[in-house]
Amino acid sequence: MPRRLDHHPRVIRKKKPVAVLDDDQARLTLPEKQYRELLFKEFVSFARQHDGVVISVPWRSPAVVLVPLGEPSRLEIALSCLPKYPFVQLPGTAARLSHGAFSELRRIAVRLWP
């Protein structure tokens, strides 16, 4: 006799939680380690969207980010709208090879959590 699949409906998978840079509710509902991992991943994509390159060790705070030279960069403007994540400019510059050309960048440190 064939098995009846209508008696055992398929289980619907729940979506994984995503931490947003300004979401306080996610911090309360997730374990601390998982929250920090999600927040760091979210910050890396946020930095890429605003012409920044994260070069620090994953899941560590403060995160070191390379931004283009100029006053001020798109990432710094976006971070100034989020006072929860303070940043400071680090001394010195760096060079990065991108699409066959070197570009001068400066470093900033962003504190994601205390």
The answer to whether the beta carbons of residues 64 and 109 sit under 8 Å apart is yes
The answer to whether the beta carbons of residues 52 and 67 sit under 8 Å apart is yes
Number of other CB atoms surrounding residue 27 within 10 Å: 14
Please report whether residue 8 resides in a domain. Answer: no
Number of independent structural domains in the chain: 1
pLDDT confidence of residue 17: 63
The answer to whether the beta carbons of residues 73 and 50 sit under 8 Å apart is yes
**pTM for the whole thing?**
0.75
pLDDT confidence of residue 23: 67
pLDDT confidence of residue 10: 63
Q: Mean pLDDT by 10-residue block, N- to C-terminus, for the chain (114 residues)?
A: 64 65 69 86 93 90 91 91 92 87 92 88
- Domain enclosing residue 102, as ranges: 18-110
The answer to whether the beta carbons of residues 94 and 58 sit under 8 Å apart is no
Number of other CB atoms surrounding residue 15 within 10 Å: 5
Please report whether residue 105 resides in a domain. Answer: yes
